[in-house]
Structure formats: C-alpha cells, structure tokens
C-alpha cells in the first residue's frame, strides 16, 4: 500500500479554519459537540495510516500500515454510528469492533485513536479516572454529575464471554424514563483495555474543549465562555500533537526495521571437540 503522508496543505486548511474562529471553552465534554473531525483523521495520517476511500466521496476510510485496523467515517450513515473502527484478528489476538455516534467529541475519539497508534506504558484502571473526575460510580457503571452521560460495562451473556462497554449521553428524562439519545459509543468485549481507558479518561476530563462561537454543541445546556486561548494557540496545539505523532511513528518504524543484534561471542565461539578426536 502506498503511504500518502499528511500534507502541509491539509494542515494549512485546518489552520485557516481555526485561526479565524474565536475559541470558547465548552463543557462538560460530553455535551461539547463533535468539533473538527480532523483531530482524528490528521492524527492517524501522521501515524502512517492511509486513505483507501474514494477521494470524491463524503465517506473517509483509513487503514493502518499493517492493514489490521480500519477506521470508517460516514457522515451519510443511515444508522447513528458515524465512526466505525475494526481490528482483524492476528495470531492469538482476537479482532474487535468499536463505534461512535455523530456528536462524540472529536478530541475524545482522538484520545482513543492516539492510544491505538502508540499504546501507553501503563494501563490504568478506567474506573479510577472516572471517579476521580467527580462522576458517580454505580453498581452497573458510572454517570456524569449532570446525569446526562452514562458509562456501563455490560455483563457476560449467552452470546458474549466478556463484558462490553456502552456509553450514552441522553437528554434529561422524567422519573425512571431516559430522554432521547444525543450520542453513543460501543466498545466490544475484545477492545484493548488501554483504548477503553484512553477514551474514558478523555471523556471525563474536567478541562473544557474549544469550540467556535457559532459551532454546534451536543446540547443547549453546554456551558460556553470565552477561552483564554488565542486562535493561534489552538492551531499550534494541533500542530504540536501532529509533530509528536509523526515522531512516534518514525521511531516505531525504525524499531521494526532494525536488524537483530548478534551477541559478540557468537562469531568467535568454537565448536565443541568431539570426545573421539
């Protein structure tokens, strides 16, 4: 597969859009709205993923360098899942599937895909990050302080031998009834733990996300106020992240192509003398 790197023209287009937007701090994150999908697609392209979809189509499909992972972004999807990520089974590692709705914040999804391209050295307990962010831990999962976002680790069933993750943000309900769904995320039972942790950590992070003055949010109750960040700082933060992901990808490729080191004594070792000589 021919690798087509992220171009300076593409980065400039991102900068042109955000350099003229007055950023507003928007919180909580689960109501911040989708943001710019290029937080996800630029990050994967910087890590060596390649577009394999029709360049004239609204649908974007990115494939990892080893072709094991495939991300599909379909803004014309007939279902509520605009983002779909699949991993093929390799050896003893099972395949897995994750999907995300239209209004999942791109920065939160980007934390998931960044962790896919460069796994963290440790795999923290996702529940610890969720509760430390002030979310309410419940027997079946956790809910946000405003009770609009629920995280659920669904138990085993006759069809699944492991638990799967279901995250939903909904309109406020009445009594025992939940309101209409705003967005959802589903991570199947084989989704690697460090990816789950990255998504939940980014979702429950108390720091706001930046949105333009008239940019779409996930719900009218999202709180917005002028950000202390200048537009150029938003652009610079994106460029710095892309540079970091590129460096990680180059380092990983060098490690894969580096020849195995031969022990120094291996070339000088003499065969054992036969007891018959």
Q: What is the pLDDT of residues 182-209, one digit of tens each?
A: 999 999 999 999 999 999 999 999 999 9
Task: State the pLDDT at residue 253.
Answer: 77
According to DSSP H, which parts of 20-89 are helical? 38-46
Residue 126: its pLDDT value, please? 79
User: Please, what is the angle between helix 38-46 and helix 231-257, to 10°?
Assistant: 30
Q: What is the mean pLDDT of residues 93-118?
A: 95
pLDDT of residue 156: 64
Question: What pLDDT does residue 244 have?
Answer: 93
Q: Quick check: 93 pLDDT over 70?
A: yes
62: confidence class by pLDDT, cuts 50, 70, 90: very high
Q: What is the spatial distance between Cα 121 and Cα 254, in angstroms, rounded to a whole number?
A: 19
Whether residue 1 is predicted with pLDDT greater than 80 in this model: the reply is no
The per-residue pLDDT for 50 is 94
DSSP per position, 128-143? HHHHHTTPEEETTEEE
Ranges 62-71, 150-159, 205-214: which has the least confidence: 150-159
Q: Find tokens 């009770």 and name the residue.
A: 147
pLDDT for residue 215 is more than 80: yes
Q: How confident is the model at residue 14 (pLDDT cuts 50, 70, 90)?
A: very high
Averaged pLDDT score across all residues of the chain = 87
Spatial strand order in the sheet of 81-87:
50-51, 60-63, 69-73, 81-87, 96-101, 181-187, 164-170, 149-154, 141-143, 136-138
Would you tell me the crossing angle of helices 193-204 and 106-117 to the nearest 10 degrees?
Answer: 150
Instruction: Write down the pLDDT at residue 160.
Output: 54
Percent of the chain with pLDDT over 70: 86
User: Model-level pTM?
Assistant: 0.87
What single-letter DSSP state applies at residue 221? T
């Amino acid at each position: 597969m021919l690798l087509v790197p992220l171009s300076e023209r593409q980065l400039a287009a991102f900068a042109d859009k955000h350099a003229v937007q007055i950023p507003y701090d928007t919180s909580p994150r689960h109501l911040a709205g989708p943001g710019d999908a290029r937080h996800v697609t630029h990050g994967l392209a910087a890590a060596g993923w390649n577009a394999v979809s029709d360049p004239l189509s609204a649908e974007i499909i990115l494939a990892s360098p080893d072709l094991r992972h495939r991300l599909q972004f379909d803004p014309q999807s007939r279902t509520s899942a605009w983002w779909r990520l699949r991993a093929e089974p390799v050896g003893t590692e099972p395949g897995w599937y994750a999907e995300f709705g239209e209004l999942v914040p791109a920065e939160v999804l980007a934390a998931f895909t960044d962790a896919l391209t460069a796994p963290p050295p440790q795999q923290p307990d996702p529940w610890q990050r969720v509760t430390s962010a002030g979310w309410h831990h419940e027997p079946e999962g956790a809910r946000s302080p405003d009770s609009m976002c629920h995280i659920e680790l669904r138990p085993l069933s006759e069809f699944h031998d492991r638990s799967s993750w279901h995250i939903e943000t909904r309109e406020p309900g009445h009594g025992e009834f939940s309101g209409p769904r705003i967005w959802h995320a589903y991570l199947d039972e084989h989704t690697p733990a460090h990816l789950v942790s990255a998504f939940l950590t980014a979702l429950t992070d108390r720091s706001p996300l930046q949105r333009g003055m008239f940019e779409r949010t996930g719900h009218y109750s999202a709180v917005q106020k002028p950000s202390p960040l200048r537009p150029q700082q938003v652009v610079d933060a994106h460029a710095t992240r892309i540079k970091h992901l590129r460096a990680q990808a180059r380092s990983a490729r060098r490690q894969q192509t580096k020849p195995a080191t031969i022990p120094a004594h291996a070339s000088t070792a003499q065969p054992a003398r036969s007891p018959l000589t």
